[in-house]
Chain A
């Protein structure tokens, strides 16, 4: 009886080994890859649906070009990404490829849940990937830039024939009756601070890295105060409203409750379905003195999991090269509207497409986050949203809000002179 059980056990082990390893003479078993895609933060349905569409397109194209590879997609909320990858990694079942925005990828990298790319410079150099150096670690890259998602102004051209070019014009249009929406999410509102020269000082003051964190100087404080003051005054206009999330803004423009909003380019397909040809996009308004808006662009990164077999890692790298090559990047730009290529070989048809031209021009002025810049800002989104809300509703003076922001940026007692 016992012998029978052991024979059964041995048989099972041999069968499993054959199943897993495959026979030398037989056909090779398919290489299965787990691809995890973090779909936006919280309830950002717009980004989520855009990413899902995009991911399905690119994986099916890759599999049709690489028979014998199966890519299994798993979509997660950005907030759940680290916990999920950590949990799967304790089983040895961590993902082979992770596609997510910069902040969550930075967290995965800090926890050692992803490993640097082993792709050689001769494989990456021909692709001329923008912002690649942001993620360099010695001779390797902690993650690879994948797609850029610029920030824009989206508006209903039926209600607003010409978009406001400056923040002054924006408030003026609101005073004339245009329904304007602005987000209270700091990373999506930072473009308005850039008009006052306050965005970079804020980014530096809120830097996670104490080594590079720089307290606000008196000049910086004056710029931030000017921006906070403008936000407060803007909210006095009854037709200008602040909304908690960018997703909420998109929904309101789509349902024609608003005429103008600041938006991410990934919202274009959804808005196009609702507004049709009435939808127009433009650059975000410049500052009062004409300084161009510098929005914080969204950058999608592609990184590699730590649990892959050598075979899975090879396929994962092949997949990375595939989605970064000229053809795929061009294809993604055209088919996944709202996404811009990081591959500089791809020529953006700015003459043929005013929409792409606007996106391209927005990117030229954008601040692109790396594993340091912008992380602190995003990790304090909740607290900063509350402060901004208190500012725009006049519950706290701009001076008090500024002090609270500084305290948030630097919990230690020391302050800028």
Chain B
């Protein structure tokens, strides 16, 4: 650690040179000037105008870096800051372009997760590389780990690489999956499974490389793997079981994102199929449920989207004994046919279900294209039946009780 501070002390020493200080001050002045101009009383600029302004700033920095040597001063540092500004400008333009073709929120999320941290690494790495050389700074030993010196470079890799492996593996794997899907016509479920496996493979290989890079020898890795096996046997058994179930579900294709199924009596739609849990959306209360994958593996699941997406609904209704069932059935079928969300094929059917205490009970059965719309269509049909019965003078009786009083 002392050596690291010693190296940093060397960079601070460079600021004592008038030529370096001049470049720092000129760059800071230009950057602050840009900020002040950009936010002076007008709020944020339109995105493309902001990109243009950054481009002007990068050009100005580059111009100053060319002018300084003419005046007898070095200008490389200003040029370097200009280059970094130009890269940032190009990235900002790319972001705006991507927002045109891809969902803006997704672009912004990926930007925050991947591009910004990568640019930060480039910024710091670029400055260190030009000032001192990455090898010199990265090789600074910090502490002993498994009898080997843990250098600054390895520590940064240890902290940063897992993050970047997880975040950055997403996009290339997605693109590869997409390409394979198009080339060999892979099923979406299998494609998703392949993407996930590739991603975890990439992360796994990266982790092993990192372990080797920081000096974890094969014995240490074997010890960790042994510990992990015991952990799998006890503590993380469920996690592992869900992981395997998730992979299996993906390959089998029995559950896909977008499927509609019944979970604990509620109708839900599958939003996301993860490796540990599946995310379901419950329409009734707009809740998202995280259901462990194992659940679908060990218990019966009812789905409306297995071979087709149609769902059959029913409305139960009672009509008075005095009305001819044929008339009631005709009215009910007519009501169902009149609803645009009720499928014509198969046609709606009405069944006489029972002779009840105060009414003849009918069941109107109909089919719908979207399984999630059952509640809405049922409600519409019940309202329409009331109006149709009013129109045809059909009574919807309610239970009546005749009470005889003894004298």
Contacts and interface: CB of A to CB of B under 8 A. Distances in A.
A415 B23 CA distance: 53
Given A34-B10, A70-B9, A72-B7, A309 B32 contact: no
Interface in B15-71: 15-21, 23-25, 28-29, 32, 35-36, 39-40, 69
B12 interface: yes
A91 B15 contact: no
Contacts of A1: 39
B17 A31 contact: no
B131 interface: yes
Interface residues of B, number: 37
A69 B340 CA distance: 88
Interface in B116-164: 130-133, 136
A12 interface: yes
Contact of B15 (A2, A6, A20, A89): A20
Interface of B is mostly: helix
Contact of B20 (A12, A87, A92): A92
B318 interface: no
Contacts, number: 95
B131 A70 contact: no
A12 B12 CA distance: 14
A115 interface: no
A84 B75 CA distance: 16
B133 A91 contact: no
Contacts of B20: 91-93
A294 B315 CA distance: 112
Nearest to B73: A92
Contacts of A21: 16
Interface string A78-105: 0000001001111111000000000000
B9 A307 contact: no
Contacts of A74: 132-133, 136
Interface in B158-178: none
Interface in B96-132: 130-132
Nearest to B6: A70
B16 A20 contact: yes
Interface string A294-324: 0000000000000111011000000000000
Nearest to B19: A92
Among the interface residues B17, B18, B29, B130, which one has the most CB atoms of the partner chain A within 10 A? B17
A5 B9 contact: no
Q: Give the bracket for the number of chain A residues in contact with chain B.
A: 20 to 34
Contact of B130 (A6, A34, A91): A91
A32 interface: yes
Contact of B32 (A5, A30, A87, A88): A5
Contacts of B74: 89-92, 307
A416 interface: no
A32 B7 CA distance: 10
A353 to B, nearest CB: 35
Interface string A357-401: 000000000000000000000000000000000000000000000
A408 interface: no
A92 B23 contact: yes
B399 interface: no
A89 B23 CA distance: 13
Nearest to A74: B136
Nearest to B14: A93
A308 B23 CA distance: 15
A72 B36 CA distance: 38
Contacts of B12: 19-20, 32
B268 interface: no
B280 to A, nearest CB: 47
B14 A32 contact: yes
Nearest to A2: B36
Contacts of A290: none
8 contacts: A2-B36, A2-B39, A12-B28, A13-B28, A16-B21, A72-B10, A309-B17, A312-B16
Interface of B: 6-7, 9-10, 12-21, 23-25, 28-29, 32, 35-36, 39-40, 69, 73-77, 79-80, 130-133, 136
Given A6-B32, A30-B13, A91-B130, 6 more contacts: A2-B39, A20-B16, A32-B9, A32-B14, A89-B74, A93-B131
